[in-house]
Amino acid sequence: MKLHLAPMEGVVDFVLRDLLTGIGGIDQCVTEFIRVTSQLIPAKVIYHYCAELKSEGKTASGVPVLVQILGSDPQVMAENAAQIASLGAVGIDINFGCPAKTVNRHDGGAVLLKNPDRVFKVVEAVRKAVPKNIPVSGKIRLGFDQAEICVKNAEAVQAGGAQKLTVHCRTKMDMYKPPAYWHWIAKIKEVVSLPIIANGDIWGEAELLECKKVTGCNEFMIGRGALRDPFVFRRLKGLQVKQSHKDLLLPFFQMNSQRVSPSFAQARTKQLLRNFIGYDETYLRYFDDLKVITLPSDFAQRLSEL
């Protein structure tokens, strides 16, 4: 079984990947999406999204990180993918699932799922532009407003030459509403032979087992479940968990302070802590206590006393 940490824009950056892969149980990560419009993205920006490129595309714990791009112009996507590959990416993932209105209005993300031929053309162009030894993968939702089209889109990703496909089992219109419709992966598998990563609403062992049963998949991607419980990957792999959620907060704050700034660190630590409440309500007390602190130095002091 392989477990993937889901890409999450504004949340899963270099520091959180470092923290979560340091805990263990994760086999692969994906960067937040990098939006490709009409130009070649400067290398500086690519390194910002994937600082791991400076260490062979892997986190400090040795977990590979795919670079995710989002866009609709096959040619520009191909040129950017080639440049990202030349910077040392271990793989390129293409986002066909983003539901954000601004992204969709600018012809990117889930809007492409309305037309599988457009999905095919982007994947094909990117695959041709990237050296053969670097895998290209696609990440789709089931569709824009209808789920049935997932089969055609999965076929398009395969026909374009991708090596793998992640399916977030909801349409764009579903946004993040439960449930995730895992059974569509079984339908996709009737016609597509690509390895598939199942994604959507896997929070722990119960969902993972059910998802495995329904989809027959051996690879799973977890997003919000990893924020709620950073130890979920270890638990799912039957590894011992010796730390508690609380133990992660100060190191996370310090890593962010060092890398970005104390005020950024404070905001991101509050964001992470807020997610812990879904795992254990007692974190609400810590959150209420910490959320009102404004000075990062006071915040750090309070974290060290937890």
Q: Which of 3, 4, 7, 29 binds ligand FMN (CB under 6 A)?
A: 7
Spatial contact of 94 and 68, defined as CB atoms under 8 Å apart: yes
Q: Is 164 in the site for ligand FMN (CB under 6 A)?
A: no
Q: Is 219 in the site for ligand FMN (CB under 6 A)?
A: no
Distances (CA, A) of 191 to 143, 159, 176, 209, 287: 17, 12, 27, 23, 47
Q: How far is the CB of 71 from ligand FMN (least distance, A)?
A: 13
98 is catalytic: yes
Spatial contact of 28 and 54, defined as CB atoms under 8 Å apart: no
Of 205, 223, 176, nearest in space to 16 by CA? 223
Q: Is 97 in the site for ligand FMN (CB under 6 A)?
A: yes
Q: Is 168 in the site for ligand FMN (CB under 6 A)?
A: yes
Q: Is 207 in the site for ligand FMN (CB under 6 A)?
A: no
Q: Which of 92, 136, 222, 273 binds ligand FMN (CB under 6 A)?
A: 222
Q: Is 199 in the site for ligand FMN (CB under 6 A)?
A: yes
Measured distance CA(67)–CA(57) in Å, rounded: 9
DSSP bridge pairs for 171:
143
DSSP bridge pairs for 164:
137
Stretch that binds ligand FMN, among 117-125, 126-134, 219-227, 240-248 (CB under 6 A): 219-227
- Angle (CA) 184-63-34 rounded to 5° is 65
What are the helix (H) ranges across 239-282? 246-259, 262-276
Measured distance CA(206)–CA(19) in Å, rounded: 25
Residue of 98, 150, 211, 217 with catalytic role: 98
Q: Is 99 in the site for ligand FMN (CB under 6 A)?
A: no
Q: In b/e form, how buried is each residue of 244-260, taking b as 16+ CB within 10 angstroms?
A: ebeebbbbbbbbbbeee
Residues 242-261 that bind ligand FMN (CB under 6 A): none
Q: Is 6 in the site for ligand FMN (CB under 6 A)?
A: yes
Question: How many chain residues touch ligand FMN (CB under 6 A)?
Answer: 21
Nearer residue to ligand FMN within complex by CB, 33 or 233? 33
Spatial contact of 38 and 75, defined as CB atoms under 8 Å apart: no
Q: Which of 212, 224, 246, 302 binds ligand FMN (CB under 6 A)?
A: 224
Consecutive H or E run containing 118: helix 116-129
Stretch that binds ligand FMN, among 36-44, 199-207, 230-238, 284-292 (CB under 6 A): 199-207
Q: How far is the CB of 271 from ligand FMN (least distance, A)?
A: 10
Q: What is the DSSP letter of 130?
A: S
Q: Which of 28, 95, 257, 266 binds ligand FMN (CB under 6 A)?
A: 95
Question: What is the per-residue binding string for ligand FMN in 261-300, x denoting contact by CB under 6 A?
Answer: ----------------------------------------
Active site residues: 98
Q: Which residues bind ligand FMN (CB under 6 A)?
A: 6-11, 32-33, 68, 95, 97, 139, 168, 199-202, 222-225
